[in-house]
Structure 1
Amino acid sequence: TRKITSPDRDHRRFAYLNAGDLFMSDVMYGPAVRKNDGRKRKTYLIAFIDDATRVIPYAAFAHSENTAAFMEVLKQAVLRRGIPMRLFVDNGSAFRSQHLSLVCAKLGITLIHARPYHAAAKGKIERWFRTVRLQFLPMLSEKHMLNLKAINRALWTYIETEYHRSPHRSLCETPLDRWARVGEKVRYPEPGDDLDDLFLFESKRKVQKDRTVSLNGMAYEIDASLVGETVTLRYNPSEQGKEIKVCHNGRFVQKAKLVDTYANCFVKRDRPSKTIEALDPEKAVDHKRESRPKQPVTSADLRSRKGDGYV
């Protein structure tokens, strides 16, 4: 059922003056592209556009439109074109995630969500998607559908060599020329900023008695001192199986690896061993003699011991 927009609602065009004032983002359905198993899967084009210049900070096809895929494209956009003051996004689940809100807060980005059924507010990114459908997709051949790397390489070649260098109708100049004129205030990450660390996802887990925590169906080994404690796992979802960071009470504790059950067969445990050690022959006790039953004491024995001074 289509939502009918009220005709008396106030709709106004807007345009920011400086590059980096506002990035707008949305997702478009893309063509089917082969995965590692050789079968074709549908793709999603995740893109960002700078409101003032129409420059595309970054865009990429992915096999998913989830939060992990979106955050990877956002990270590349920040690395290439700086940190926007505002980020304008749709109301999809990927845009409503707590992780996106947390990363935006760390970067000092004001996160803005479009009103439901208000497509006109995202007109600039929707117009660019239309350009992609009309100009880029018809150029693709079978060699571009081999994998995501191939189609994304073709996409970025088109963006940098054609789209960015073609005069934009509403700007009366190319996106790159406009960026050169109004891009002096763009805020870029500091040299010491670790964006890879800042974009890591976080999940809380309780360390089990066998020193493990489970994440995305995989078991990771944790230090024995944290058994029974709740820890925070920091990880990149696109790098499943690699080391993850473990934090406890807000402090980094260790990097955890996947459990190697075979190697653990030969690892000395951290608790005292209960193995019975061999006795030293010189210190050994004659257990046969010690275990030999004693004869009962008679009254005659007591009288003889009395004479010997025992009683």
Structure 2
Amino acid sequence: MAKAPKPSIELRLRVLAAVDYAPGATIRERIKHVASRSFTDADRGIDYRFTWRTISTWLYRFKKRGLTTLDNKTRADRGLPRKVSPPQLAEAIHDVLPSLSRNKQGQLPKSVLYRRLLEKGLFTRRQLAPTTFYRRLREHRLLDDPDTHERLRLAFAMPYANDLWQADTLHGPAIRQADGTWRKTFLVAFLDDASRVVAHAEFFYRDDTASMVDAFRCALFKRGKPQRLYFDNGSNYRSTVILQACLRLGIHLSHAPIRDGAAKGKIERFFRGFRDRFLTQHTAFHSLAELNAHTQHWVEHDYNDHYHSGIQMKPLDRFNLDIGRLQFLTDDAYSAEAFFLEFDRKVSKTNVFSLNAQRFECPVDLRGQTVQVRFDRQRPQHVIVFYAGQRMGEATVLDPVHNALARSPLKESA
């Protein structure tokens, strides 16, 4: 049965006029009497009946703002997503829970949680009303049953490529060195949630922040910038350099719960396939470069370009479907600076600041100001100065002798 069109403004005015002449001692009684009647739209030949709540709303709007509020209006958020799915809500709650504490009764007030989600900008009030939020918490037990979170994660998938990346570290094979010792290797991998594409996977001798940053940088240049990162809880993934890089690039960073492998189900599944289909067939390597060469070939040809049962197509083909939405980084100095360490420094009266037991001169006159200095830990003498959010340029190592000669009175007189 087709849905009847919305009543015209003329018909609504007839309904409000009927309230004035309806029997009843109170306005509520008169409205309920009108709600029991039917009204015919002569132009359309349709009979309408309205609830007393609908009539009350019309009457309130008419008395407060006049005739114009009775006209049919288009929603201000038309075309925008207005619903938050239970998996999305579970992920949002997971992000903000560490910043909240429970009361003396061991409970977390739901109203406080709702306000914090709004403050973080994870959704708007139009997308999820308070009553809907409370109902979702109750129906899906998002705060009570940890197994519910796991079931929701298993069914969760982002709609577009580079909406979300998962990352983790795998302990790899040991490689015999020239001196006869054995060194263990660690694989750092980034996987796109929607397409299952491995953005980048690389072995390192050290499981540290420097290795993590190198792998992250390669993944960004190869596959573009993700909107969100879902990392492990290890110290490498919580390092300052990773957090600062995400802030500069506009990437939302979140971490999986401690000792919760199911939270990273897709990357864990890739690691299991990597062990079964690659490491079991390649048991000995002479160098780290050889291991990475074989790994890159397997990832690009035997995984990314191979049919994936989870998405019913090749991961690379699925990734390329969203190629128009992706944001790629340019390989220039500005992109490289996104991974620099940053510290605040006070500039002296001689326009000099200290960093790593060394003194630098500012590229412009910033005497007496507090500046932000960024530098690559592999090249600590390459220092970039920022002030008030603006890039001022590269600082130079202080050379007092050169400054003395440059300002020598004998040189000026000559």
TM-score bracket for this pair, using the shorter chain length: 0.5 to 0.7
The yes-or-no answer on 1:153 pairing with 2:293 is yes
Q: Which residue of 2 aligns with 1:142?
A: 285
Matched pairs, number: 260
Distance apart, 1:131 and its partner CA: 1.9
For residues 11 and 191 of structure 1, do their structure 2 counterparts lie closer, same or farther at Cα, with a shift above 3 Å needed?
closer
- How far 1:153 sits from its partner (Å)? 2.3
State the SS of the aligned residue for 2:198: coil
Counterparts of 1:109 and 1:183, CA distance in 2: 18
Among 360, 365, 375, the alignment partner of 1:235 is 375
Instruction: Out of 153-162 and 30-39, give the one that drifted further.
Output: 30-39
CA–CA distance in 1 between the matches of 2:371 and 2:174?
40
Identity %: 34
Aligned partners of 2:177 and 2:385: how far apart in 1? 32
**Aligned equivalents of 1:268, 1:8: Cα separation in 2:** 67
The within-5 A match list for 1:74-113 is 74-113=216-255
Match of 1:189 in 2: 328
Q: Is the 8 A contact 1:204 1:233 kept in 2?
A: yes
Contact in 1 for aligned 2:362/2:385 (Cα 8 Å):
no
> In structure 2, do the counterparts of structure 1 residues 37 and 81 end up closer, same or farther at CA, with 3 Å as the change threshold?
farther
Contact 1:19/1:185 (8 A) holds in 2: no
Alignment partners' CA distance in 1, 2:249 and 2:388: 23
Q: Which has the higher helix share?
A: 2
Q: Which has the larger radius of gyration?
A: 1
Amino acid at match of 2:379: Q
The Cα of 1:164 is off from its aligned counterpart by 1.5
Cα RMSD of the aligned pairs, angstroms, is: 3.8
Provide closer, same or farther for how the CA distance between residues 197 and 38 of structure 1 changes in structure 2, counting only shifts above 3 A. Answer: farther
Instruction: Give the direction of change, closer, same or farther, for the CA distance of 1:91–1:190 in structure 2 (3 Å limit).
Output: closer
The correspondence of residues 165-244 of structure 1 with structure 2, limited to 5 A, is: 165-180=305-320, 182-189=321-328, 194-205=334-345, 213-215=354-356, 219-222=358-361, 230-237=370-377, 239-244=378-383
Offset, 1:24: 0.7
State how far apart, in whole Å, the 2-side matches of 1:104 and 1:269 are. 42
Q: Where do 1:45-124 residues align within 5 Å?
A: 45-124=187-266
Moved more, 51-60 or 247-256: 247-256
Following the alignment from structure 1 to structure 2, what is the Cα–Cα distance between the partners of residues 133 and 47?
13
Amino acid in structure 2 at the alignment position of 1:269: A
C-alpha displacement at 1:233, in angstroms? 2.5
Aligned to 1:247: 386
How many Å separate the matches in 1 of 2:374 and 2:258?
32
C-alpha distance in 2 between matches for 1:51 and 1:61 = 21
- In structure 2, distance between residues paired with 1:254 and 1:111: 28
Give the partner amino acid of 1:11: E
For 1:76 and 1:189, the matched residues in 2 are separated by 12
- 2:270 aligned with 1:128, yes or no? yes
TM-score (norm 1): 0.68
TM-superposed deviation, 1:183: 2.0
1:213 aligned counterpart, secondary structure: strand
Question: Quick one: distance in 2 between partners of 1:175 and 1:35?
Answer: 36
Separation in 1 of the partners of 2:335 and 2:176?
A: 30
Check conservation: 1:205, 1:232, Cα contact below 8 A: yes
Would you say the 8 A contact 1:79–1:188 is kept in 2?
no
**SS of aligned partner of 2:237:** coil
Which consecutive unaligned segments of at least 5 residues does structure 1 have? 1-5, 275-311
2:303 to 163, 173, 176: 163
TM-score by length of 2: 0.53
Question: Which letter does structure 1 place at the counterpart of 2:340?
Answer: L
Alpha-carbon offset, residue 54 of structure 1: 1.1
CA shift digits 1:116-147 (9 cap, x unpaired):
2221121110111112222223425333x2x4
Q: CA deviation at 1:249?
A: 5.1
CA 1:77–1:142: 2 relative to 1, 3 Å: closer
